[in-house]
Structure 1
Amino acid sequence: MALSVHTLSTAWSFKDRDDDSAEAWMPVPVVPSVAHQDLQANGRLKNPYVGFNELDARWVNDKSWTYRTQFQKPAIPSGSRVVLAFDGLDTFATVKLNGSVILESSNMFLGHRVDVTKALESKDEHVLEIDFDCAMLRARELKGKDPKHNWASFNGDPARMAVRKAQYHWGWDWGPLLSTAGIWREVRLEVYSARISDLWTEVELAADHQRAQVSAFAEVEGVDSDGPYNVSFTVRLHGEEVARNVTSVQDGIAKVTFDVKQPSLWWPNGYGDPTLYEVSASLEKDSKIHQISKKIGIRTAEVIQRPDKHGKSFFFRINGVDVFCGGSCWIPADNLLPSITAERYRKWIELMVAGRQVMIRVWGGGCYEDDSFYQACDELGVMVWQDFMFGCGNYPTWPELLESVEREAFYNVQRLRHHPSIVIYVGNNEDYQVQESAGLVYDYEDKDPENWLKTDFPARYIYEKLLPEIVERLAPKTFYHPGSPWGDGKITSDPTVGDMHQWNVWHGTQEKYQIFETLGGRFNSEFGMEAFPHMSTIDYFVENESDKYPQSHVLDFHNKADGHERRIATYLVENLRTATDLETYIYLTQVVQAETMMFGYRGWRRQWGDDRHCGGALLWQLNDCWPTISWAIVDYFLRPKPAFYAVARVLKPIAVGVQREHHDWSVTHAQPPKTSTYKLWIASSLQKETIGTIELRFLSVNTGLEVRESITREGVKIVPNGTTIILEGVIDHQTHPEPHVLAARLWVDDGVIARDVDWPQPFKYLDLSDRGLEVKALESGDEQTLHITAQKPVKCLVFEEREGVRVSDSAMDIVPGDEQTVTVKGLGGPPLKYKYLS
């Protein structure tokens, strides 16, 4: 018989496990869900994302919960079995069927399959019940059983490291303390006699890309009964069949090999089409019994590490093309994970594409994301840096925990390995930094894994033996990196090797953001600057108008970063004229974030052309898990902050950059320099040489007039996939004492394709009043084109972010004599408000 699926998503109820009263049971609207969602649905819990409600929800974290449903026995043809499948139970779960325990789980990241054929024989109606123990209490119990272990960590209760659960559920420096419990992924009954339990491929792409060999494997369960089984494999491209083959099952595996001539390759966003082939396997015995399909990409993905004049490189090469990985880090998009829909995942990745980002880093303190997340990345061409779920801690390694970790890694790499978007697996987030800060033993020269388990840093065994062996077994073509940051056993801040997290802007020594480019390494996989979200987001979580001022208690409560008050204040007071009204204050924090990201990305992308000195930059962070004040460049409601647009401009296929040398005004007590050097360059990710014309103007901030003759270069040959240095010059501040901007424009084929404006620093010393800005909409309707001009240089023109409305650009600098246009889609209402630095 054909496999049939019966999803158990409705008719559930739940209760506080310790409440035995008759009225304790409450209905569950739909599964998957977690207790916080279901309590809200029953009016027992206020929205924890609003005001101080998170504090009123803390009692939920300390409870144990029971979920129950009744279901009818499905039709079970002779010779068939019934399997109860759980894709995710959060976290300490005891599953009972008709009162008998059939499963005990202690790992949120695992799926489970339980054969319940015999259990369903006796009657037609059955009771499924799941007890979820309190994860926080269990974590503390487990921690107490291992007092000799050094529980060093950053963020949250150190006991979290004893539990295989999303670590951010213990609270983080951008998220609330909401420890969930429940059926967080699908539950279903499957009835079948035989099925395909796994489908995967191995791809060999010829060096000239003219041919690919695709080997397809199907693992088959239940075929050792009566008679032969065949598996029919097909390969389709854009819905059209391009290959088919049928083979028998041998020792539970069916395998075929296809030769694909002139394959369409999978490329990252901006480098070509992210072409996907559909590979299907159909299990047949007289008729089709079960079919499974997966979409794959034909591509090669390498991490190039080679000695050079800067140390040892770290960059990605896709299909033989070196790719500068401008992108972001990703945290879970909600604290209540079942609430994230496939549509919401896709909107996030669509925003990345609109922002010209090519890589997303799935951070190790969250979860292995839903399939729909990776499918969106596959389809839209966003490369995935996939951390394993270990973050900011010295993890213990008792045998039961190691066994659970091994099963977790196997399950998830097996589940994810077909996705062409995943180009690297990484062992952890910042655990080697914890090792350094706590002074734990790490002898890189000791290559005996058994010795590692005996040290006070035993998790090295996980990152340098257990995980790489699983990746090598299941996904041998995907690069494995022990940790982030990490580089050949050197200190994690070493800028010459591996990847690094650069937090000396914001955290650490709190350097000026204007020098970000000097602080980078070979691959900058974390760096960031906080900013407030837009006013509409603050209106959502701030209930009282009296609390809508910059330093209100509720606003501070929604910023979990340690010392955020002084750090935000520092960067504001150093750079801008401060404000007390909330809307202006919000805008000023966003200006600082946009400038910080621009300085980092612009300088590091220029270094790409210097022997791949910098291989990529992944800002912290793309998104939020609740409405908050954080480092995110797009807030919880998918509203881009100005930094989103600043990054998008720097990541254009061809971008122009101009920058004067940094003058540290705080050290010299604002004494101006006599001269300043500057550089003008073009960065390109195109694979062919391009010819352009570049112009550099020197415009007075005060009048908008030119203070010296402009410079124009025609017929400039733009180096492909690298950096073209146009000129290096000197500003004589004695000859030209008036503050002025350096405004660069680049034309290709009679059109301006890139701009950059370098400003005197800091902005607080500039008079930015009376700019003569005009924003005109010459068309009306759902799509408008805004025409923007100014009589004097304008800094960071930001348009209102409105629900359902998308602007093509924002956070723009406007200079006299250079009209710019912005397309607005989905407006259908009053004109967008805008603000600029004044």
Structure 2
Amino acid sequence: MSRLFQHSLSKEWSFKDSTDESEGVWMPVPSVPSVVHQDLLANNKLEDPFIGFNELNAKWVNEKTWTYRNVFQKPEAAPGSTIILAFDGLDTFAKVKLDGNVVLESNNMFLAHRVDVTKALEADGKHILEIDFDCAMLRARELRGQDPKHKWASFNGDPARMSVRKAQYHWGWDWGPVLMTAGIWRDVRLEVYTARIADLWTEVQIAADHQEATVSAFAEVDGAAGSYKAKLKLSLQGREVASEETTVDKGNTAKVMFNIKNPSLWWPHGYGDPTLYGLSASLTDGQNELHHVSKKIGIRMAEVIQQPDKYGKSFFFQINGVDIFCGGSCWIPADSLLTNITPERYRKWVESMVAGRQVMTRVWGGGIYEDDSFYSACDELGVMVWQDFMFACGNYPTWPELLDSIRKEATYNVRRLRHHPSIVIYVGNNEDYQVQEQNGLTYNYEDKNPENWLKTDFPARYIYEKILPEVVKELAPSTFYHPGSPWGDGKVTSDPTVGDLHQWNVWHGTQEKYQVYETLGGRFNSEFGMEAFPHLQTIESFIENEADKYPQSHVIDFHNKADGHERRIATYFAENVRTATDLETYIYLTQVIQAEAMMYGYRGWRRQWGDERRCGGALLWQMNDCWPGISWAIVDYYLRPKPAYYAVARVLRPLAIGIQREHHDWSVTHAEPPKTSKYSLWIASSLLKGVSGKVELRFISVQTGLEVRERRVWDDVRIHANGTTDIIIADIIDHMVYPEAHVLAARLWVDNDIVARDVDWPQPFKYLDLSERGLDVKVSESGSDDLQKLRVSTRKPVKCLVFEERDGVRVSDSAMDIVPGDEQIIIVKGLRGDTLKYKYLGQ
């Protein structure tokens, strides 16, 4: 018997337009995985679709068919060995031929395939592998045309997309281009073996007091008939914790049970260490090791708590018995050309989540089941993952062959991902129940007969409430399943009392003022957002002509895919700030509005966490971009944070102080100022123990920088653990007595250190004169060429001090409010003696 050998087929590929039969048309492929756009770029047959209007010049690629070819040498194989041709991902309609014979036909981008080619490779020497990739766009339209009775209701992209199991954002979304990729988008290889470990997974049970855990480990074996043994081992930080050898049973599965005393638990960052155990399995024939597989697992309990309360029914996460407020963001694919994303780039993205104090990321249902390196980074860094299945914004058809493909897709991906401790929930779809509501499709929640669902004009319910929960229950029984996002017990998706909520009445919908975000939330706010431009450097990456560097240029509008973005940006500009015509100031102002909007949402909803878990979490839309564009992202395509990134990070501190005046709707009162204002002051904590602190509240004139009334101080405030501590629930400012526009500036000390600040400003900013602030930014010391300390002080209150985002340079904070008498220190890494530009509102 022979040990498993893998022969990569990443090199020696060529490709061509399938319809071109002329000689010499084959073009070299640098390496696979790749997609056709990258290969055309490498051969100078395509201009970068991310630049200018080149997306339009790439349209022809979307409607072509492509053939890829590889000539390879038959690998050495001992007698009795199996040779497998393994594809981890083919995008999307692929016909695979080996020496002219069809060995595989695939129509699902999200599936892996294993083809036994032992007999096909009986002859020694060279063999020809060819893959024909049919056009997904044309095939989708053809499939749609074959079912005119189905109601093809959807948001975003061509409705025909729902007939094809391909990343839905490839059809274009309101933040990304239409780039219909094709190709070998994940690894391809030949495997030679007698027997192999096909799957390795665990089921974990933890005692209520966390002092003991039972880890049931399973190894599934695939191979020729024979007598095999498997040794399974559990280790921690390289030290063996437990191991056991067992015989592979008739079901081709080896199972052992490890009892672990005082286990080191996996925690989200900020709550404990994200401890990972090593799990390995070695397969032998009694003498020789045939295959070895290892994974990292976490020992943890993850629950979604849904209990009746005074607000309806709770929806929050609990890890190892600890309630977790899930502040974080939604994740889209980080590139329109997926094979551009390296494991290192994935790691940087997750590191930026952690640096931004985000404890959860939501893998959105219109993208992909991400690469293993993404989830591994979340495991290692302690970021919880909300995992959607890949259905988004539509009424999907349910043809028998499509349902079969969907079940296989779900099975494959849950098997692949189930060992990751970071994944704490599987969710059936993104906004498909909203499509059902808005189009009046039939949904009788009380009808529990799945066969009836298939006969309605909303048959996709069968996918979300039968197929997917069955797969999760079978393969990952300890992971919570939720039918959709948003969804709550079959009620309307806008119901704030149950389930999760997408709150788009700021920006979309009724376009409410962002200052009232806290009144608009539900039990878990899994989407909300505000657009902002990326930094000038990112804008310049796709602008080819200097004449286009103005806010409303054609090419800039082209790189903003949101319907009506001109009106919405203009609305929030007109309501809040003085408009600008130069591009750099315009960019900055959009970023100020986004930072303020996200701050208002997170600040108010995190406060509600302490009120019987009224709000269980907030995931902004969106963390990232798939190309250099204008969107709701708080970090752009090039990993450059926007000011909102820092504003959110501050609100998500372990201890965060909040000060806020009640909203005075100046547009309704025709800009008449209020005679009095109520205001509240509170502290939000994610600490698991109570602490004592000192609180200060100052009232500082915007115009003079002087205090307009006596400051208030609370010397010994007992701060509740993992909740909210109200300092002032509602007090009154009499604007007849204090007529000057003034900020409310709050600070919190713990153990003589300032741990949190917050500043509430008179609204709207456009009425304030914020020029000549007396801001002073100076270098206080340089620890090395790579590190500087900046001391920041001011004579008058400063709004949204933003430091330039420069590649290779990182600042400890930005988008800051600075008030007189409160000098702040900024740590700058990577500046190497250079100066850093900055900007503030009204400068």
TM range (shorter): over 0.9
| Superposed displacement of residue 78, structure 1 | 1.0
Aligned to 1:656, the other structure's residue is in SS state strand
1:561-576 counterparts in 2 under 5 A? 561-576=562-577
1:64-103 counterparts in 2 under 5 A? 64-103=65-104
| Contact 1:94–1:104 (CA under 8 A) maintained in structure 2 | yes
What residue is the counterpart of 1:623 in the other structure? 624
Greater CA drift, 444-453 or 118-127: 118-127
Whole-Å separation in 2 of the counterparts to 1:782 and 1:337:
33
What residue is the counterpart of 1:236 in the other structure? 235
Q: Does 1:192 align with 2:193?
A: yes
| Superposed displacement of residue 222, structure 1 | 1.4
Q: Which amino acid aligns with 1:278?
A: G
Whole-Å separation in 2 of the counterparts to 1:239 and 1:716:
45
**1:485-535 Cα distance to aligned partner (Å, 9 max, x none):** 000000000000000100000000000000001000000000000000000
Aligned to 1:779, the other structure's residue is in SS state strand
Aligned length: 836
Whole-Å separation in 2 of the counterparts to 1:223 and 1:655:
60
**Residue 779 of structure 1 is aligned with which of 778, 781, 785?**
781
Q: Does 1:758 align with 2:760?
A: yes
Whole-Å separation in 1 of the counterparts to 2:444 and 2:148:
23
| Superposed displacement of residue 155, structure 1 | 0.3
What residue is the counterpart of 1:634 in the other structure? 635
| Superposed displacement of residue 724, structure 1 | 0.1
What residue is the counterpart of 1:281 in the other structure? 281
**Residue 807 of structure 2 is aligned with which of 798, 803, 809?**
803
Q: Which amino acid aligns with 1:201?
A: T
What residue is the counterpart of 2:439 in the other structure? 438
Q: Does 1:220 align with 2:221?
A: yes
What residue is the counterpart of 2:579 in the other structure? 578
What residue is the counterpart of 1:512 in the other structure? 513
What residue is the counterpart of 2:256 in the other structure? 256
| Contact 1:427–1:483 (CA under 8 A) maintained in structure 2 | yes
Q: Which amino acid aligns with 2:241?
A: V
**1:412-459 Cα distance to aligned partner (Å, 9 max, x none):** 000000000000000000000000000000000000000000000000
Aligned to 1:797, the other structure's residue is in SS state strand
**Residue 735 of structure 2 is aligned with which of 733, 736, 739?**
733
| Contact 1:132–1:182 (CA under 8 A) maintained in structure 2 | yes
Aligned to 2:715, the other structure's residue is in SS state strand
Greater CA drift, 443-452 or 283-292: 283-292
| Contact 1:153–1:392 (CA under 8 A) maintained in structure 2 | yes
The TM-score, its normalising length taken from structure 2, stands at 0.99
Q: Does 1:404 align with 2:405?
A: yes
Whole-Å separation in 2 of the counterparts to 1:234 and 1:444:
46
Aligned to 2:24, the other structure's residue is in SS state helix
**1:70-118 Cα distance to aligned partner (Å, 9 max, x none):** 0000100011110000000000000000000000000000000000001
| Superposed displacement of residue 779, structure 1 | 2.2
**Residue 769 of structure 2 is aligned with which of 748, 758, 767?**
767
Whole-Å separation in 2 of the counterparts to 1:351 and 1:463:
32
Whole-Å separation in 1 of the counterparts to 2:553 and 2:517:
31
Whole-Å separation in 1 of the counterparts to 2:73 and 2:254:
35
1:459-538 counterparts in 2 under 5 A? 459-538=460-539
What residue is the counterpart of 2:244 in the other structure? 245
Over the matched positions of the two proteins, sequence identity in percent amounts to 75
The TM-score, its normalising length taken from structure 1, stands at 0.99
Whole-Å separation in 1 of the counterparts to 2:237 and 2:23:
56
Whole-Å separation in 2 of the counterparts to 1:441 and 1:793:
55
Q: Which amino acid aligns with 1:720?
A: A
**1:266-295 Cα distance to aligned partner (Å, 9 max, x none):** 000110000000100000120111011111
Whole-Å separation in 2 of the counterparts to 1:617 and 1:22:
57
Question: RMSD between aligned alpha carbons?
Answer: 0.6
**1:174-233 Cα distance to aligned partner (Å, 9 max, x none):** 0000000000000000000000000000001111111100010000111523xx211001
Whole-Å separation in 2 of the counterparts to 1:394 and 1:527:
22
Q: Which amino acid aligns with 1:56?
A: N
Aligned to 2:575, the other structure's residue is in SS state helix
What residue is the counterpart of 2:614 in the other structure? 613
What residue is the counterpart of 1:267 in the other structure? 267
What residue is the counterpart of 1:61 in the other structure? 62
Q: Which amino acid aligns with 2:437?
A: E
Aligned to 2:781, the other structure's residue is in SS state coil
Q: Which amino acid aligns with 2:814?
A: S
Whole-Å separation in 1 of the counterparts to 2:589 and 2:23:
55
| Contact 1:549–1:580 (CA under 8 A) maintained in structure 2 | yes
Aligned to 1:623, the other structure's residue is in SS state coil
| Superposed displacement of residue 23, structure 1 | 2.4
| Superposed displacement of residue 829, structure 1 | 4.8
**1:341-385 Cα distance to aligned partner (Å, 9 max, x none):** 000000000000000000000000000000000000000000000
What residue is the counterpart of 1:132 in the other structure? 133
Whole-Å separation in 2 of the counterparts to 1:581 and 1:827:
27
Greater CA drift, 143-152 or 215-224: 215-224
**1:714-764 Cα distance to aligned partner (Å, 9 max, x none):** 110000000000013111000001000000000000000000000000000
| Contact 1:223–1:229 (CA under 8 A) maintained in structure 2 | no
Q: Which amino acid aligns with 2:794?
A: A
Whole-Å separation in 1 of the counterparts to 2:104 and 2:212:
47
**1:113-141 Cα distance to aligned partner (Å, 9 max, x none):** 00000111123100000000000000000
What residue is the counterpart of 1:374 in the other structure? 375
**1:569-627 Cα distance to aligned partner (Å, 9 max, x none):** 11011000110000000000000000000000000000000000000000000000000
Whole-Å separation in 1 of the counterparts to 2:693 and 2:786:
35
| Superposed displacement of residue 692, structure 1 | 0.2
What residue is the counterpart of 1:332 in the other structure? 333
Q: Does 1:814 align with 2:818?
A: yes
| Contact 1:533–1:586 (CA under 8 A) maintained in structure 2 | yes
Aligned to 2:290, the other structure's residue is in SS state strand
What residue is the counterpart of 1:824 in the other structure? 828
Whole-Å separation in 2 of the counterparts to 1:221 and 1:473:
20
| Contact 1:746–1:754 (CA under 8 A) maintained in structure 2 | yes
1:105-120 counterparts in 2 under 5 A? 105-120=106-121
Greater CA drift, 121-130 or 679-688: 121-130
What residue is the counterpart of 2:690 in the other structure? 689
Whole-Å separation in 2 of the counterparts to 1:677 and 1:775:
34
Whole-Å separation in 2 of the counterparts to 1:679 and 1:786:
32
What residue is the counterpart of 2:605 in the other structure? 604
In structure 2, runs of 5+ residues without a counterpart are none
Aligned to 2:259, the other structure's residue is in SS state strand
**1:769-810 Cα distance to aligned partner (Å, 9 max, x none):** 110000111223210011100000000000000011111000
1:132-151 counterparts in 2 under 5 A? 132-151=133-152
Aligned to 1:717, the other structure's residue is in SS state strand
| Contact 1:353–1:382 (CA under 8 A) maintained in structure 2 | yes
Whole-Å separation in 2 of the counterparts to 1:299 and 1:125:
50
Q: Which amino acid aligns with 1:239?
A: G
**1:614-673 Cα distance to aligned partner (Å, 9 max, x none):** 000000000000000000000000000000000000000000000000000001010011
Aligned to 1:598, the other structure's residue is in SS state helix
